[in-house]
Amino acid sequence: MNHTARTTRTASEDLRVVVEHWEHLRSLLDSATPDVWPPLRPGAEYLRTLDEHDAAEVAAGRHGQQLVTTRHESGQLYYACAHCDRVGEGHEHPVRDDRGPGQLAELPAPLRLHVADAIRTVEFVLASLADEIAGDVQRAAVAAPRRPGTGDTIADSLVLIAAVDAADPQRWHYTMGDRSAPRAAQWLLDRLADRPGPCRSINDAHRERITRIAREAARRVERTIGADRRSVELTRPCPWCGGALIMHTGSDVDTVVSCATGLVDCSAPASFNVDMRRREWGTPEQLAALYVALDAAEKRKVEADRRAQRAEARRRQRAAARGNAAA
């Protein structure tokens, strides 16, 4: 059975990437925030615990010692703590009253500028795209009377209709209201699905523009949170032909391992991807069988190296023996 992963997504899928991963992206703004995607790597939990410990120490009026070299007016060098000018052990230094909030270890974790840039860029391009599409297909909002007369049923009805029209979730607002990236992405999704509302159907040119910009927005989000598609060469070669094994991963595709050698020169019992011209292991059963074969090939290699070492040792012994006999 051929398990071929799609290499392209639809515009709707790209927009859903923005909607579903926006909170993961925003959680990366603060470098101490643990709620990121993909999950934390081994060891990151330990580092986060240290950060929390340091924050607790500062909150309790203590801080870790950080020695710096200071030159006295006389020219003599001496050491002092960077936070309180004292020298001593551990987390027992009281924070001095004359230290302002701008001192080291008293500031919140810095913002990650590349994350802030990604948020600003994606939000701007999607909101601008929604402005452009809405300008073409969205009808004007119902205008309420400026001075509704008391008891005027027609004016009262117009006020109600205008309020309902303004609150319609299918209406895009150019200035006021929610203009976030998820809101813009969801509004564009509704246009692609031709949901009923105060809008005409979009045309092919609109769809092409949404597709192009949604693709770039999704890539920017995934690249920033570390969930983009990647291809990494494994350290061990193919057990059947010795070719390079490549692992392909991503947030929207299943993990696939392929052999770079191809069909003709590789005899691996794996599925053949006709489009990519490569053998692939894609299902959990296939991947498990591949790693079993890799372990077996490594054991064979280790045993072959040992036999070669023993044969070389015996050869040297025989050569030494012949040398002794000749002497």
As a whole number of angstroms, the longest Cα–Cα distance in the chain is 130
Residue 256 and residue 292 share a domain? yes
- Which of these ranges, 107-121, 162-176, 186-200, has the smallest mean pLDDT? 107-121
Q: What is the pTM of this model?
A: 0.50
**26 within some domain:** no
Residue 250 and residue 305 share a domain? yes
- Among residues 183, 206, 225, the one where a domain terminates is 225
Q: Over 70: is that where the pLDDT of 303 sits?
A: yes
Residue 257 and residue 287 share a domain? yes
- Among residues 202, 225, 248, the one where a domain terminates is 225
pLDDT of residue 40: 43
At 104, is the pLDDT very low, low, confident or very high (cuts 50, 70, 90)?
very low
**323 within some domain:** no
pLDDT of residue 215: 93
249 lies in which domain range?
Answer: 231-312
Structure tokens at 169: 């979730």
Residue 120 and residue 181 share a domain? yes
Q: How far is the CA of 285 from the CAs of 237, 247, 270, 282, in angstroms?
A: 19, 16, 11, 8
Top mean pLDDT of 144-158, 161-175, 296-310 is at 296-310
Of 200 and 94, the structure prediction assigns the larger pLDDT to: 200
The answer to whether the Cα torsion of 128, 130, 133, 134 is positive or negative is: negative
Residue 125 and residue 199 share a domain? yes
pLDDT of residue 15: 95
Please check whether residue 246 is in contact with residue 233, taking contact to mean a CB–CB distance below 8 angstroms: yes
Please tell me what DSSP assigns to residue 160: H
Grouping H, G, I as helix, E, B as strand and the rest as coil, residue 81 is: strand
- Provide CB contacts within 8 A for 239, sequence distance 6+: 268, 293, 294, 296, 297
When divided into structural domains, the chain yields a total of 3
pLDDT in tens, 214-227: 999 998 998 888 76
Residue 170 and residue 136 share a domain? yes
pLDDT of residue 319: 85
